[in-house]
Amino acid sequence: MPNSTISLHLVPGWAKLPEDVSLGFTHGIAVDSQKRVYVFNMSQHAVAVFDCSGHFSHSWGSDFAAGAHGMHLRREEDGQEYLYLTDISRHLIAKYTLDGEEVFTVGVPPLPDIYPTPGHYMPTDIDVAPNGDIYVVDGYGQYTVHRFDRTGRWLQHWGGKEGAEHALNEPHGLSIDTRPEEPIVYVADRRNQRFVAFQLDGTFIEAYGGDFLLPCDLVPFGEDGFILPDLNGRITITDGSFQHSAHTGENPSIWQVPGWPGIPPANWVDGRFISPHGLCVDDDCVFVVEWVPQGRITKWEVRGK
């Protein structure tokens, strides 16, 4: 069961934007080794960079304005950190330096039967295995999981829509848990309200249901648990079996409010979520981004860890 002494506490007003900068839907977030925070959002400031105190520093990536979605930050063997990104509008994944220099982009996987047009491919999340292989989930397209090598060369896929072996239904998020001796690929199978575990080669391990609403993603948390954004207004902390959960910032039935998720900022309540979409964990804090038109970024302190 999640450690009952663990709790999340809001840091009020952490994100600070200048008057001439506005963000769009905030979908992804990551923190580098210098404690800079990167927010992937649908605006001309698609990769918005904040310092550790929450002040906006600069931005780059305007090409991602229409399709910014999944983000993963990785420190690689050369000691450099890179951002791996997905674009649901341009139907591609990309690798960039933290300064915004493109390393490579990779378009539609070479599977014409599954992807007769680029529009059938809408990658929503991305992660990287210890050996450098890149894993991508096509959460808004054909509901497949793809594996590429470290250069972006396509290797394999699995999953798919109803009728496929280990079919998925809007597999929105993907995370590789490197805590076990053999890393595990977890897929947030959002519309099925579950997580599905696979070996790195795509071999099915198990599917886990639980106390989830619309789980967008998951991040390893603590010794063997996970923390995840539930789109319908809460953050969930769960144990390694996904059977014992606790919730933070719960905003019951917020998704039933007319116009959701476009709730006016004047109606936002500190410490209550509207539509959590992505999160990352850094030391003793958790950063959360929400699926709202003008973006929402919050920082939470972890206590009792």
Q: What is the pLDDT of residues 60-114, one digit of tens each?
A: 999 999 999 999 999 999 899 999 999 999 999 999 999 999 999 999 999 999 9
For residue 133, give the DSSP letter: -
- Give residue 237's identity as a one-letter amino acid code: I
Q: Span 181-201, mean pLDDT?
A: 98
**What pLDDT sits at residue 305?**
64
Domain of 101 in residue numbering reads as 7-303
Total domains in the fold of the chain: 1
**What pLDDT sits at residue 11?**
98
pLDDT range class, residue 7, cuts 50, 70, 90: confident
Average model confidence (pLDDT) across the chain: 96
**What pLDDT sits at residue 245?**
87
Give the domain CATH number at 144.
2.120.10.30
Examine residue 1 and state whether it is found in any structural domain, yes or no: no
Q: Which two tokens stand for residue 38?
A: 């990167």
**What pLDDT sits at residue 1?**
45
- Pick 272 or 304 by higher pLDDT: 272
How much is the pTM?
0.96
Report which of 62, 64, 63, 40 is spatially closest to residue 50, judged by C-alpha positions. Answer: 40
pLDDT range class, residue 304, cuts 50, 70, 90: confident
Q: What is the pLDDT of residues 96-108, one digit of tens each?
A: 999 999 999 999 9
Q: Which two tokens stand for residue 105?
A: 């982009």
C-alpha distances in Å from residue 192, one per residue of 131, 167, 244: 30, 10, 18
